[in-house]
Amino acid sequence: MKSEILSLLRNADGYVSGEELSKKLGVSRTAIWKNINLLRDEGYVINSLTNRGYKLEKSPDVLDENIIADGLNVSSVGTKIKVMKSVDSTNEEVKRLANSGEESGLIVAAEEQTAGKGRLGRVWKSDNGGLYFTLLIRPELPPSAIASITLAAGYAVCLAIRDYTGCDAKIKWPNDVIIGNKKVCGILTEMAAQSDQIDYVAIGIGINVNHTEFPEEISQKATSLLIETGKKIDRNPFFKCVIQKLDEVISSFLFSFSLEDVQSFKSLCATLGRKVSVQRSGKTIEGTACDINADGELIIKDYTGKNICINSGEVTVQGIY
Ligand code: BTN
């Protein structure tokens, strides 16, 4: 009932009378009034005027499945959206659901993660103001596609940030999105697979949206959309834009992935052309990042002129972090 009232108030051009709400929803005016008060308790600012009715003035900064799904036009990503107040990790929740048969396309988002996970066993601190979510897909692809799936997700996040904020977001291969030389988004992709076929992929995405500051140890490396734009971002429409881009990019990936897609990813990859170093089997590989191949792997030309393919790992990029 609350979400139906909200939807009517949101789509109204001004005040909506209690009578109109009660007629449209088939309940008494007292029930409407009670639910309006429940919404106020949740932080919605709703004006009421005698003889005119109710008007939504301001919504609280909470993720709302209904606002996000309203008008979303997707074919394979975000076909089902679940928003949770708190969860250990959205990746863990998606993996639990995937293991009990959940279909491809689900997105689970949470306001708070009590055990948010970063790459390489790190903790992903999930404070207020961020966007933390995981997407479940079941592509009919071999496990080797995992690197390009992660790149596709990063590329989609870049497009959404560029469209929504105008910031010059780029990919730091393989899993980060940066603005300038600072990280604004991290991606943790986890997979369950047979030897030649992926069962599912959980793509976990954490975006620094309205953070005003970061802990000392990462303050030189991290940024947020608020810091970059100077404006607080309304997370619901921004999230919708991210889902729309993920759907566009990943649908193409699932059904007709081509070298053109790789070209697009490359066009927004800040790592290419820079001096890089990466640890592999206890050795340091140093050289220049010169290309990304069809499997999403980074090709590094080392100082002897040899091309080395890297499919994962912590890459240090000169000039970034
Ligand atoms: C990294 O840069 O180390 C990757 C960070 C990924 C964080 C996201 S937040 C949503 C999802 N749930 C998690 O526990 N981790 C990912």
Whether pLDDT at 10 is above 90: no
pTM for this predicted structure: 0.90
Nearest CA to ligand 1 atom 9: 206
Per-residue three-class SS string for 164-183 = HHCCCEEEECCCEEEECCEE
Mean pLDDT of 133-146: 94
Residue 286: the pLDDT is: 95
More confident of the two residues 301 and 256: 301
Name residues whose C-beta falls within 8 Å of residue 168's C-beta, 6 or more positions apart in sequence.
162, 179, 180
Site to substitute for ligand 1 among 205, 211, 214, most atoms within 8 A of C-beta: 205
Ligand 1 neighbourhood includes 87 CB (under 6 angstroms)? no
pLDDT category at 312 given cuts 50, 70, 90 is confident
Whether pLDDT at 255 is above 90: no
Provide the mean pLDDT of the chain: 94
Burial level of 288, CB count in 10 A (0-12/13-18/19+)?
A: middle
Ligand 1 neighbourhood includes 116 CB (under 6 angstroms)? yes
Whether pLDDT at 257 is above 80: no
Going along 149-221, which residue ranges are E strands? Answer: 169-172, 176-179, 182-193, 198-208
Residue 213: the pLDDT is: 93
Site to substitute for ligand 1 among 108, 132, 157, 185, most atoms within 8 A of C-beta: 132
Q: State the distance from the centre of ligand 1 to the C-alpha of 133, rounded, in angstroms.
A: 8
57 and 68 in contact (C-beta within 8 Å)? Answer: no
pLDDT category at 243 given cuts 50, 70, 90 is very high
Whether pLDDT at 256 is above 80: no
The CA distance from 73 to 71, in Å, is: 6
Site to substitute for ligand 1 among 82, 88, 91, most atoms within 8 A of C-beta: 91
Residue 254: the pLDDT is: 80
The CA distance from 317 to 309, in Å, is: 16
CA end-to-end span of the chain: 49
pLDDT over 90 for what percent of the chain? 80
Strongest mean pLDDT among 10-19, 93-102, 124-133, 246-255: 93-102
302 and 285 in contact (C-beta within 8 Å)? Answer: yes
Mean pLDDT of 150-154: 95
Strongest mean pLDDT among 108-117, 214-223, 274-283: 108-117
